């Protein structure tokens, strides 16, 4: 049957099982939006307040489900407004397809109105991107975009479609996607000898440590990590992105590792004799000083992406391929252990150096708020965050029991990410309560997305940690720059609760510990509108522990 290019796009989205897209219309995407109008009973379009909000919402939708998130924008500024969200998804391996309208093919390269080379701009922050100038290639391009976004290490793909292509007619032949092709990760680079050496290393290690990253969750290998840890008595720490890949309440869990990791985790990395890193990329926030990182350990790196192995740190046992299959193979040769001296040492560190803060009956403490959110939601909420101190407190004090429960911008550190991601996650998981932990600096960047949440009657909660400053930068200025607080005060008199009410949401001010439970419970009871909880906290509250940039993990500052 013959269809317009725009209708081909819609049919391809339906082929891929897409039921929700996020976007903002414009001139070069208008034919796509006309097709979306006709398909409105089959594909739900969420109109955000800004294209960046659309990209973050698509990202949150993808992280909450594991499905490909989809966002749509027009050419020029519409497309460039997606770039921050695309880069966020790229850094954290999130499957996304961004579809942008482009000027007609005859106007390409002529500085036409709202023309921009979006494929050139996004090349460094996409797994791949396409510009479609021929309608006969449109369907195969859309299908290939989804395939690339899902296969191996996931990531974003951009498809730029010229306006005349969306209006041209073409013969469309339906096609069912091959659901198995996305897991067709080969183990051909791993020999039997490689496996035998790795198994021997695990069995002979006296002080082994597992570092579980997001790749574990993406591969669906959480049970294998738990089996490896429990059967061989190996303690487990996680990266920020790996939260929930190992239960936060498990006795073998030592907490997050790295700059704001627990002392137990950082001391374990510094003292272990075998570090087994699974699905994590050795970012600088984990490694800190490469020359002093895991100085007594052999390093085993299990990852799907060969480009990450050996990129940042030396690796003694590289195992590249499907994480779940690799772990299953390793488990076959495992020697069972329990009650080792190493475990006793780990438990001693956990008891001696717990996460702690100065509790108060009169002053509102951010750590206390996170603890109460965990308690009142029974640990079952999905948490999204903005970026800053609040993000680290959310990582430290909420005990995550499953992957996809903690949704945050890790690699890019995108302020303004959380609200859009919260919207996407709520639309993806209406069965769960979604709570965005935010700082006032991050929140004000994309607070207009409150209008989106109100429009679609989403019962999200924004827990706003309002310290009237750019808290993390201020903390660094105090600790490492002699207290010179350059441009980190943002006490602008904004009444955030009133702002929420102006958008049509519910706003609640909280400035005393006695008000916390009532405010959270009130927010949790809402079923049709967003609630903003404005928690007034002290600008001098800090995130501890902290490893100064460039220091060894054993040089952690505790207070």
pLDDT at position 130 is 98
pLDDT at position 438 is 98
- Report if residue 545 sits inside a domain: no
pLDDT at position 144 is 97
pLDDT over 90 at 324, yes or no: yes
Looking at the fold, whether 403 and 341 belong to one and the same domain comes out as no
**Domain tally, the chain:** 3
Q: Which residues are designated catalytic?
A: 51, 113-114, 163, 472
Looking at the fold, whether 389 and 531 belong to one and the same domain comes out as yes
pLDDT at position 180 is 55
Looking at the fold, whether 253 and 397 belong to one and the same domain comes out as no
**Closest-CA residue to 293 (of 306, 283, 302, 304):** 283
Give the domain range for residue 513.
Answer: 366-536
pLDDT at position 187 is 47
For 173, the token pair is: 């032949």
For 292, the token pair is: 């002093």
**Closest-CA residue to 503 (of 457, 544, 471):** 457
Rounded average pLDDT over 249-268: 97
Rounded average pLDDT over 318-325: 96
499: left (phi over 0), alpha (psi -120 to 50) or beta: alpha
- Report if residue 313 sits inside a domain: yes
- Report if residue 156 sits inside a domain: yes
Mean pLDDT of the chain, nearest integer: 96
Residue 5 to residue 236: CA distance in whole angstroms: 50
pTM, rounded to two decimals: 0.96
- Report if residue 357 sits inside a domain: no
Looking at the fold, whether 127 and 265 belong to one and the same domain comes out as no
Strand partners, 47: 23
Rounded average pLDDT over 294-314: 96
Strand partners, 158: 98, 129
Predicted confidence band of residue 179 (pLDDT cuts 50, 70, 90): low
pLDDT in tens, 76-113: 999 999 999 999 999 999 999 999 999 999 999 999 99
Task: Quickly tell me which residue has 């903690």 as its tokens.
Answer: 406
- Report if residue 431 sits inside a domain: yes
- Report if residue 154 sits inside a domain: yes
- Report if residue 547 sits inside a domain: no
**Closest-CA residue to 155 (of 185, 129, 121):** 129
pLDDT over 80 at 222, yes or no: yes
Looking at the fold, whether 242 and 371 belong to one and the same domain comes out as no
**Closest-CA residue to 463 (of 415, 534, 379, 522):** 534
CATH number at residue 313: 3.40.50.1220
Strand partners, 509: 534
Sign of the torsion formed by the C-alpha atoms of 415, 365, 466 and 432: positive
pLDDT in tens, 131-168: 999 999 999 999 999 999 999 999 999 999 999 999 99
pLDDT at position 177 is 79
Looking at the fold, whether 345 and 469 belong to one and the same domain comes out as no
- Report if residue 172 sits inside a domain: yes
Looking at the fold, whether 202 and 149 belong to one and the same domain comes out as no
Looking at the fold, whether 122 and 64 belong to one and the same domain comes out as yes
CATH number at residue 383: 3.40.50.970
């Amino acid at each position: 049957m013959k269809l317009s290019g725009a209708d081909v796009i819609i049919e391809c989205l339906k082929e891929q099982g897409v039921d929700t897209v996020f976007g903002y219309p414009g001139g070069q995407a208008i034919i796509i939006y006309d097709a979306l109008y006709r398909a409105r009973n089959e594909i739900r379009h969420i109109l955000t307040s800004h294209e960046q909000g659309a990209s973050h919402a698509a990202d949150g939708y993808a992280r909450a489900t594991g499905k490909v998130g989809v966002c749509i924008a027009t050419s020029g500024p519409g497309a460039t407004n997606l770039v921050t969200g695309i880069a966020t998804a790229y850094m954290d391996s999130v499957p996304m397809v961004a579809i942008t309208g482009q000027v007609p093919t005859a106007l390409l390269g002529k500085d036409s109105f709202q023309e921009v080379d979006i494929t050139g701009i996004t090349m460094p922050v996409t797994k791949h991107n396409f510009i479609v100038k021929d309608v006969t290639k449109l369907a195969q391009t859309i299908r290939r975009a989804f395939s690339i976004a899902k296969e191996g290490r996931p990531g974003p793909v951009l498809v730029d479609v010229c306006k005349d292509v969306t209006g041209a007619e073409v013969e469309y032949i339906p096609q069912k996607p091959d659901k198995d092709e996305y897991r067709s990760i080969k183990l051909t680079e791993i020999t039997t000898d490689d496996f035998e050496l790795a198994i021997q290393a695990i069995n002979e290690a006296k002080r082994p440590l597992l570092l579980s990253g997001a790749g574990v969750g993406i591969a669906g290998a959480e049970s294998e990590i738990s089996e490896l840890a429990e059967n061989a008595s190996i303690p487990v720490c996680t990266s920020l992105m790996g939260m929930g890949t190992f239960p936060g309440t498990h006795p073998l869990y030592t907490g997050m590792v790295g700059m704001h990791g627990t002392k137990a985790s950082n001391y374990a990395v510094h003292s272990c004799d075998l570090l087994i890193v699974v699905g994590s990329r050795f970012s600088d926030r984990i490694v800190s000083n490469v020359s002093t990182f895991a100085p007594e350990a052999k390093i085993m790196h299990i990852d799907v992406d060969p480009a990450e192995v050996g990129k940042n740190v030396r690796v003694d046992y590289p195992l590249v391929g499907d994480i779940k299959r690799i772990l299953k193979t390793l488990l076959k040769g495992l020697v069972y252990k329990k009650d080792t001296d190493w475990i006793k040492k780990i438990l001693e560190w956990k008891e001696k150096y717990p996460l702690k803060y100065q509790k108060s009956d009169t002053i509102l403490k951010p750590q206390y708020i996170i603890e109460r959110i965990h308690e009142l939601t029974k640990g079952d909420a999905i948490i999204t965050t903005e970026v800053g101190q609040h993000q680290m407190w959310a990582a430290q004090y909420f005990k995550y029991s499953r992957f996809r429960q903690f949704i945050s911008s890790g690699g890019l550190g995108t302020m303004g990410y959380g609200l859009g991601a919260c919207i996407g996650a709520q639309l993806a998981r209406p069965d769960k309560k979604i709570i965005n932990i935010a700082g006032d600096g991050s929140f004000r960047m994309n607070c207009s997305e409150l209008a989106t949440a109100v429009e679609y009657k989403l019962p999200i909660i924004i827990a706003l940690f309002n310290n009237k400053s750019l808290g993390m930068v201020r903390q660094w200025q105090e600790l490492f720059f002699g207290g010179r607080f350059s441009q980190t005060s943002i006490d602008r008199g904004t009444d955030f609760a009133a702002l929420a009410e102006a958008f049509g949401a519910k706003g609640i001010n909280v400035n005393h510990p006695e008000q916390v439970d009532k405010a959270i419970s009130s927010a949790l009871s809402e079923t049709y509108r967003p609630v903003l909880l404005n928690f007034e906290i002290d600008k001098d509250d800090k995130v501890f522990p902290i490893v100064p940039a460039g220091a060894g993990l054993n040089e952690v500052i505790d207070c």
